[in-house]
């Protein structure tokens, strides 16, 4: 099992619109990490974010506030960040950052992007971002896509944050599945193939917790 490279933080900023809650997405340059993708504000945890003896999630919380300010110019209160999820990449990834996702109500103010690190920004309904991705107009990575998918049913930013605050943050320890080529399939705990047991359980409705990514579109499958 390969060791984790470090810890990172991501902040999903939400604001209300007439059509429902919107999220802030930032466009990365084609060179560098997540080249060309649209992502939420965030970055890795630095030494100054850490306090000895505190959980790693608290260091990630401070890093999320710092990175949001650096990338967008928006100032957040660390206490306003609601833990959403924790993502752990597959073991075959060379640089594996455990990434904590937080959600927060966007403060008032204009967006001021960090020059050279970001190209553009946009506020979108989660469903609109997924539509742009499906139509080839916006590149998303799996954690961003799944997070957006989870926010499509909320009626307001407040409702989304209240729902998240009532739930325990979920850990997504990602494992790719084989045998589905040319599609790429990523699985998480709860999928019957997650532990390498294969898909021959014989159940009428096999357990699923996966993201199927192929040329016809991406599909999140999860059984209760």
Rounded distance between C-alpha atoms, residue 217 and residue 183, angstroms? 10
- pLDDT per position as a tens digit, 147-173: 999 999 999 999 999 999 999 999 999
User: Which pLDDT band holds residue 3 (cuts at 50, 70, 90)?
Assistant: confident
Rounded distance between C-alpha atoms, residue 131 and residue 128, angstroms? 5
Instruction: Specify whether 43 is located in the same domain as 118.
Output: yes
Q: Treating both helix axes as pointing N-terminal to C-terminal, what angle do 142-150 and 126-134 enclose, rounded to 10 degrees?
A: 140
Instruction: Specify whether 92 is located in the same domain as 143.
Output: yes
Instruction: Specify whether 21 is located in the same domain as 107.
Output: yes
User: Which pLDDT band holds residue 19 (cuts at 50, 70, 90)?
Assistant: very high
Task: Flag whether 59 is in a domain.
Answer: yes
Task: Flag whether 90 is in a domain.
Answer: yes
Instruction: Specify whether 206 is located in the same domain as 156.
Output: no
Q: Whole domain around residue 209: which residue ranges?
A: 175-222
Instruction: Specify whether 131 is located in the same domain as 56.
Output: yes
Which residues neighbour 56 within 8 Å (Cβ) at sequence distance 6 or greater? 7, 45, 98, 100
Task: Flag whether 169 is in a domain.
Answer: yes
Q: Do residues 210 and 221 touch, judged by C-beta distance below 8 A?
A: yes
When divided into structural domains, the chain yields a total of 2
pTM for the model: 0.93
- pLDDT per position as a tens digit, 55-112: 999 999 999 999 999 999 999 999 999 999 999 999 888 889 999 999 999 999 999 9
Task: Flag whether 27 is in a domain.
Answer: yes
Rounded distance between C-alpha atoms, residue 13 and residue 23, angstroms? 6
Alpha-helical runs (H) found in the chain = 56-72, 126-134, 142-150, 157-165
Task: Flag whether 1 is in a domain.
Answer: no
User: Which pLDDT band holds residue 198 (cuts at 50, 70, 90)?
Assistant: low
Task: Flag whether 60 is in a domain.
Answer: yes
Instruction: Specify whether 125 is located in the same domain as 181.
Output: no
Instruction: Specify whether 74 is located in the same domain as 111.
Output: yes
Instruction: Specify whether 49 is located in the same domain as 158.
Output: yes
* Residue from 155, 146, 137, 148 nearest 16 by CA: 155
Instruction: Specify whether 74 is located in the same domain as 135.
Output: yes
Instruction: Specify whether 79 is located in the same domain as 153.
Output: yes
Instruction: Specify whether 168 is located in the same domain as 180.
Output: no
Task: Flag whether 51 is in a domain.
Answer: yes
Instruction: Specify whether 120 is located in the same domain as 218.
Output: no
CATH number, domain with residue 43: 3.90.79.10
């Amino acid at each position: 099992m390969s060791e984790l490279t470090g810890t990172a933080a991501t902040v999903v900023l939400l604001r209300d619109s007439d059509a429902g809650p919107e999220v802030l997405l930032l466009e990365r340059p084609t060179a560098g990490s997540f080249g060309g993708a649209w992502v939420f504000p965030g970055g890795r945890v630095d030494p100054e974010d850490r306090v000895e003896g505190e959980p790693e999630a608290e260091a990630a919380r401070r890093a999320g506030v710092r990175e949001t300010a650096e990338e967008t110019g928006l100032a957040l209160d660390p206490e306003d960040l609601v833990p959403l999820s924790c993502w752990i990449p597959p073991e075959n990834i060379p640089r594996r950052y455990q990434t904590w996702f937080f959600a927060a109500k966007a403060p008032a103010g204009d967006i001021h992007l960090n020059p050279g690190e970001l190209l553009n920004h946009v506020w979108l309904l989660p469903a609109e971002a997924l539509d742009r991705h499906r139509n080839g107009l916006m590149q998303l990575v799996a954690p961003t896509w799944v997070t957006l998918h989870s926010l499509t049913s909320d009626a307001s930013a407040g409702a989304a944050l209240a729902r998240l605050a009532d739930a325990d943050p979920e850990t997504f320890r990602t494992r790719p599945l084989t045998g589905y080529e040319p599609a790429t399939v990523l699985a998480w705990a709860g999928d019957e193939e997650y532990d390498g047991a294969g898909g021959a359980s014989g159940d009428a409705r096999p357990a699923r917790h996966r993201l199927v990514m192929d040329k016809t579109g991406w599909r999140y499958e999860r059984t209760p």
